[in-house]
Amino acid sequence: MTTGNINVSVENIFPLIKKFLYSDHEIFLRELISNATDATLKLKHLTSIGESKVEYGDPVIEVRIDKEGKKLHITDQGIGMTAEEVQKYINEVAFSGAEEFLEKYKDSKDTGIIGHFGLGFYSAFMVAGKVEIITKSHTDAPAVHWTCDGSPQFTLEEADRTERGTEIILHIADDSTEFLEEGRIQELLVKYNKFMPVPIKFGTRTETLPKPEGAKEEDPAPTRETDNIINNTQPAWTKQPSDLSEEDYKNFYRELYPMQFEEPLFHIHLNVDYPFHLTGILFFPKLNNEINLQKDKIQLYQNQVFVTDNVEGIVPEFLTMLRGVIDSPDIPLNVSRSYLQADGNVKKISNYITRKVADKLSSLFKENREDFEKKWNDIKIVIEYGMLSEEKFFEKADKFALYPTVDNNYYTFEELQEKIKDSQTDKDGKLVILYASNKEEQHGYIEEARAKGYEVLLLDSPIVAHLIQKLETGKENISFTRVDSEPIDNLIKKDEEKISKLSDEEKESLKEVITAAVPKEKYTVQLEAMDSDAAPFVITEPEFMRRMKEMSATGGGGMFGMSNMPEM
């Protein structure tokens, strides 16, 4: 038997990195700007602890297109690299200088350094045939110039750059010329870098200044060219809730969704340090019964760098209907989604978010019930879905979930039971909760029940059949009954004998026709149920039959896959 080491040579691995490192070529820009940001934040840290003698100043990262030269430049005023550092950090693939820095300055936690796999830089080769680095360290070391055309060979020589910092020059490949288009780069900057912590300049823009004193009406306002800074370096979620007003939150919502004109109903500010780091702001939009509303509105960030708007596995499914931002360096994103769901940290994050949402709803309910009732129709779909899919959420929501009646009274489940316990029971003493699902269609039945003094709920959300099922489970003494279904007769006493307007003969022939046409196993036919011209007979569908149908209609995997729904 022989044993040995498999020999991995760079020649073999380089093309693989280029091809498979990231499926999305566009992220090269995010990676290079992340490195520029890291280099700037490192310098900030070193100057703050006196380990660097240079003036930190107001560093800016600049992205510049050279269309003619087919080049893209990314320049920073950060820490820079010496020749030795280029050897170590750039020439050794998969050696992360970011990780090394964090290890060295461990006790200074909040540096906000982004990098950690030591592969991001090489994503440049997904779009560039040749890459140059011109860099000058913040120390006295001379500037260096590194060039590589994507083969494992590189050149490294001294350069005459005098300003500290790094310029990365990408010679854009022929199949990637889209990255020489201003519009495309602008789009990427807005997508990935809109909230990064160091200002990013992309070209200039014309700024309109206030008119000078005594200017005439027809005089044009003066203008001036200023740097076009594409990012907000201090987005709301990075601040303390106590430093933010309602208006600040609304402004942040508009910043996140410039095309969304409807204001959010309320927000939840997330902020936790232990046992994981997570910040963020979630917004409840007006949802109504729009269960098919576009999901994927929550954006996931790591240290202010946009990562994805697919938060599946990180946020419980019922909360994906919300909007906002989650920022956590502790979510492992280099793993598959199915693994994510099994990850202990991710499970904790998901539980934390669920708990915060439940607590916020609970305090809104307690602090201003009237306002909570007003919002109920717009938020109920999330709450009902949450009650069905997350047991912990159910336990909390059971105390604030509301059950509106057709006359707009809003009861909690407990209040409702209290309200009807003496007036709405069947012959076995079971509480009968009457509800309607459609005010117009069931109008006659609703009126009849109301006339007898019964409370009738209006439950019209598309998943309410499932919730009813859950509420009844394990509660022997409660039964939900739709106002137009069969067992209501057990409850509603007929106060007087009704006289049919049909003659006996007419009834007989009508009965024959109906019983032939209506399948007995599915419906009940009452020939003299209603003393009305409009309804000489009534066909009702037993409650359980109706629910079966409703559940299979909503449970067919349509809106959410309903994977967590209770089995019928």
Return contacts of 468-473, CB within 8 angstroms, 24+ apart.
468/435, 468/547, 469/547, 469/551, 469/566, 469/568, 470/387, 470/388, 470/394, 470/566, 471/413, 473/566
Q: Which is nearer to ligand ADP, 100 or 182 (CB)?
A: 100
Q: Find the helix packing angle between 369-389 and 344-367, rounded to 10°.
A: 150
Give the C-alpha distances (Å, rounded to integers) separating 354 from 230, 280, 300.
33, 13, 16
Q: Which is nearer to ligand ADP, 75 or 485 (CB)?
A: 75
- Which among ligand ADP, Mg ion, none contacts residue 119 (Cβ within 5 to 8 A by kind)? ligand ADP
Q: Considering the complex, what minimum distance in angstroms separates the CB of residue 76 from ligand ADP?
A: 5
Q: In angstroms, what CA-CA distances link 230 with 160, 186, 192?
A: 30, 8, 11
Q: Residue 228 Cβ, how far from ligand ADP at the closest point, in Å?
A: 21
* Helix, strand, coil percentages for the chain (3-state, nearest 5): 40, 20, 40
Residue 28 interacts with ligand ADP (CB under 6 A)? no
- Short-list 199, 86, 62, 202, CA closest to 135: 86
Residue 52 within binding range of Mg ion, rule CB under 5 A: no
385 binds, among ligand ADP, Mg ion, none (CB under 5 to 8 A by kind): none
Q: How far is the CB of 80 from Mg ion (least distance, A)?
A: 15
- Residue 5's contacts (CB-CB under 8 Å, 6 or more residues apart) are none
Smallest gap, in angstroms, from Cβ of residue 151 to ligand ADP?
18
Binding flag, residue 120, Mg ion (CB under 5 A):
yes
Name the residue nearer to ligand ADP (CB basis): 35 or 461: 35
Question: How far apart, in whole angstroms, are the C-alpha atoms of residue 190 and residue 183?
Answer: 11
Stretch that binds Mg ion, among 107-115, 134-142, 259-267, 373-381 (CB under 5 A): 107-115
CA–CA separation, 129 vs 141, rounded Å?
A: 29
> Which partner in Mg ion, ligand ADP, none is near 167 (CB below 5 to 8 A by kind)?
none
Residue whose CB is less far from ligand ADP, 125 or 372: 125
Binding of ligand ADP by 96 (CB under 6 A): yes
Q: Does 115 bind Mg ion (CB under 5 A)?
A: yes
Q: Catalogue the long-range contacts made by 532-535 (C-beta closer than 8 Å, 24 or more residues apart).
A: 533/501, 535/444
Pick the closer one to ligand ADP by CB: 152 or 557: 152
Q: Which is nearer to Mg ion, 35 or 166 (CB)?
A: 35
Integer Cα distance of 241 and 268 in angstroms: 10
Closest separation in Å from C-beta 330 to Mg ion: 18
Q: Is 35 in the site for Mg ion (CB under 5 A)?
A: yes
Number of residues engaging ligand ADP in binding (CB under 6 A): 22
d(CA 528, CA 538): 8
Please report, as residue ranges, which positions from 122 to 181 form the binding site for ligand ADP (by CB under 6 A): 166
CA-to-CA distance for 479 and 469, rounded, in angstroms? 10
Residues that bind ligand ADP (CB under 6 A): 31, 35-36, 39, 76, 78-81, 89-90, 96-98, 115-121, 166
Residues that bind Mg ion (CB under 5 A): 35, 115, 120
